[in-house]
Amino acid sequence: MNDKVTLTIDGIKIQAAADATILDAARANSIDIPTLCHDSRVETYGACGLCVVEAENSPKLMRACATKVREGMVINTHTPRVISSRKIALELLLSDHDGDCRPPCALNCPAGTDCQGYVGLIANGEYKLAVKLIKEKIPIPASIGRVCPHPCETACRRKHVEEPVSIAWLKSFAADMDMSSGDAYVPEIKPDTGKTVSIIGGGPGGLSVAFFLRAMGHSVKIYDKMPQMGGMLRYGIPQYRLPKDVLDKEIAAIEDMGVELINNYKIGRDISLEQIKANSHAVVVANGAWLSGSMGVKGEDLLGVIGGIDFLREVSLGNPPEIGDRVAVCGGGNTAMDACRTAVRLGAKEVYIVYRRTKSEMPAAIEEIDEAEEEGVIFKYLTNPDEILSENGKVYGMRLQVMELGEPDASGRRSPVPVEGEFEELELDTVIMAIGQKNDNNGFEILEKTRRGTIVADENSFRTSVEGIFAIGDSTNGGASIAIAAIGEAQKASLVINSYLNGKTVGYKKDYVVEKTVTAEDFADREKVSREKMPKLSPEERKHNFNEIVFGYTEEAAQKEAARCLECGCHDYYQCKLYNYANKYDVNPARFKGEKVIRYHGNSNEFIERNPDKCVLCGLCVRACTEVMDITAIGLMDRGFNTTVSPEFNLPLDKTNCNACGLCVRMCPTGALQEKTLLRKQVPVKETIKNITCNLCDKKCTLALSYVGDRLLRVMPDDEGSLKCHLGREELIKRIKESV
């Protein structure tokens, strides 16, 4: 009797056992059919609906996990009808799926850095691994950690307890530890591809895209018009915030990867953009925004008026301009803070910030504002330059229009409105205009520009109007932004450029993630732990020199600060099937949006964290507990939309016969069940798994023993095994513990 049948799946003729399912046959022949609820260790359930396929001459879609193969079947797994059905199934599941795929810190980092991941590694003293993780997104972390305005911290949920985690300082701490270790992390560089990429601009964006493309094996050259690489990190950030020896070390590490650095080389003067393009397989324009913006105020062209970017650049080059004793800086951003604090260090006796709104609307980082105040800068809020006053062609003062706040503008900030007839006057020697930046487009005429003069670049592919030329950073689209934004674009653009060099341009697409809304009430039970303060020079010490004002964290302080992380993001993010399928099928759950059922969370135990709001009712955990482990610690409760997986009577797992084997966790496809993290203790501990062969009877089962230190936590079957011991679980575990 022939126990084989022949069928065709996706045009491939295969043979399968007569009692096999379509899913079995497909997997045996490396044909992927998605499923959330199927596992070979338990009986078929058919709950998720993702494994549907289409059979010729059949009006209905079939569930591959539950449909037996038949002779002559012709199965198609990716027809439009199948894809549509899977997409709807996923969207329905996600419409009641609540949780955090990624923590808010990572979602709000323009570079998409895994902040939670590297903070956790620092908490455990794993600095090398932390830097490796950071450099997957940020090639110059010691520099960026010092200067980033850290939108990650603004989003950090620890603020609902007391203060956000000091994510940026932890980044620079880990990077500093790595650089001083004598064995600094270097990414693996793939074999040479024979493709050459030319990058114009050696700032944070240009350096980063060079780092990523070189690691992919491409030959990379950076052309920069300035004497040294670094862009605005070198020429726009003062030494007291970012010591240039730190920047130099990070640039040297990129050069050591094989990136060629060419300085004092200006496009349009030393070489044309067309010539660079002709000698490259791809070109990346990352030339930044080097011109200071203007306000259109009368007297702006007087001697003694200087742009904020121009002022900081000249100081960095060692050519500080004569500014006199009285200086006013117009603007409220971080450039304005850098300019006013630099003026203090150059010896000005009176330094003013002129800003048309109030302190609460100021875009500069609050710590920068506070430190400027500590150094004696005088803030003239609700004032705006009306006219710069002159005497013999030179600045001698400025008339200020008094303002008041009106209705909110498009950004949500209240608009400043002039108070009719009310003015102030300041006696001044220098006025610094720190109110924005714009492009220098000389040499880039062949590229299409926006109305504001920035380079037009597609937001998904970073392609410009000229084939083979890509553009990122401050010189594109919306104009100047923060350094981490340019680095984020560099990482995404490198993936696109790599695909272009391989013959097919694949645009960047933002992943779909589930985000959870929380309030302070959700963290009311958390212990308040003060943020570790960054030790720094006193205002009196620091305002007379350009020495770095912070000392950095000690290891003890860094680990203590990192341990404050609430670990918001899903620990199963990288393995989550639901997340992977959601992005593969380009879901839009909003079309099924409705009220989500918020379920009871209070029945976890010491080792297993249960989050029923993430559960998609696939049933794997229940079946694993019942069929594989023969325990039945959990089951399905209630009906309809209120159905949930729970121990009986909502008891804590500790009050059931659950032995914390962890099999349910390993089978869960969504992160609804997770191992509780053991790495955030004040004294870091690690869990280790030892595999053994049980010799208590002749079956010789393979078991996994879970330890913390010398303490045996639990006994589990290995990933492919089942534990149905004739001794009974309690007796087995007792004997195992006695024997080891």
Min mean pLDDT across 80-94, 149-163, 666-680 is at: 666-680
pLDDT tier, 687 (very low <50, low <70, confident <90, very high otherwise): low
* 485 to 109, 489, 492, 516: CA distances (angstroms): 8, 6, 11, 24
Contact 667, 39 (CB under 8 A): yes
pLDDT tens-digit map of 407-416: 887 777 788 9
Among 388, 379, 323, smallest CA distance to 349 is for 323
Phi, psi (rounded to 5 degrees) for 681: -70, 160
Rg (CA), the chain: 31
Q: What is the value of pTM for the model shown?
A: 0.87
- How does residue 685 score in pLDDT terms, banded at 50, 70 and 90? very low
The residues, any chain, with a CB within 8 Å of residue 233's CB and separated by 6 or more, are 140, 143, 147, 203, 204, 242, 247, 483
Angstrom distance (rounded) from CA 209 to CA 621: 44
Question: Are the C-beta atoms of residues 238 and 342 closer than 8 Å to each other?
Answer: yes
Percent helix, strand and coil across the chain, each to the nearest 5: 30, 20, 50
Which strands form 702-708's sheet, in the order they lie side by side?
687-693, 702-708, 711-717
Planar angle of CA 239, 241, 242, nearest 5 degrees: 65
The encoded tokens of residue 474 equal 């401050």
Q: Average pLDDT for residues 174-192, to the nearest whole number?
A: 95
Cα separation of 146 and 167, whole Å?
11
pLDDT of residue 535: 96
Query: Please, which pLDDT band fits residue 680 given cuts at 50, 70 and 90?
Result: very low
Q: Which helix (H) or strand (E) holds 387?
A: strand 383-391
- Calculate the average pLDDT of the chain: 90
State phi, psi for 288 to the nearest 5 degrees: 75, -175
Q: Is the pLDDT of residue 492 over 80?
A: yes
Burial class of residue 598 in the structure, from the number of CB atoms within 10 Å of its CB (0-12 exposed, 13-18 middle, 19+ buried): exposed
CA 206 remoteness from chain centre = 19
Q: Which of 152, 174, 146, 175 is nearest to 164 (CA)?
A: 152
pLDDT tens digits along 241-299 = 999 999 999 999 999 999 999 999 999 999 999 999 999 999 999 999 999 988 889 99
Q: Cite the DSSP H helix spans in 317-440.
A: 334-345, 366-374
The single residue listed with the structure tokens 């008026």 is: 305
C-alpha 34/C-alpha 578 separation (Å) is: 10
Q: Which two tokens stand for residue 189?
A: 């560089």
Average pLDDT over residues 556-579: 91
Res. 703 pLDDT band, cuts 50 70 90: confident
Angle ∠(256,259,262) on CA atoms, nearest 5: 115
- Gap between the Cα atoms of 730 and 713, Å rounded: 14
Q: How far apart are CA 282 and CA 500, in angstroms?
A: 8
pLDDT band with cut points at 50, 70 and 90 for residue 99 = confident
pLDDT of residue 720: 46
Q: Which of 350, 330, 375 is nearest to 427 (CA)?
A: 350
Q: At what angle do helices 115-123 and 555-562 cross, to 10 degrees?
A: 130
Mapping DSSP to helix (H, G, I), strand (E, B) and coil, where does residue 188 land? coil
> How far is residue 399's CA from residue 431's CA, in Å, rounded to a whole number?
12
Query: CA-CA distance, 256 to 547, in Å (whole number)?
Result: 28
Strands 291-292 and 282-285: what pairing? Answer: unpaired
Characterize the bridge pairing of strands 635-637 and 644-646: antiparallel
Hey, what amino acid is at 100? Answer: D
479 near 498, Cβ under 8 Å? no
Asked if 457 contacts 444 with a C-beta cutoff of 8 angstroms, the reply is no
How buried is 230 (Cβ within 10 angstroms: 0-12 exposed, 13-18 middle, 19+ buried)?
Answer: buried
In three-state secondary structure terms, 363 is coil
Query: 76-80, 306-310, 596-600 — which is least confidently predicted?
Result: 596-600
Q: Are 660 and 607 in contact (CB under 8 A)?
A: yes
Residue with tokens 């009196």: 540
Query: What's the start-to-end Cα distance of the chain, in Å?
Result: 50
Is the model more confident about 685 or about 736? 736
Q: Which of 398, 407, 349, 418 is nearest to 378 (CA)?
A: 349
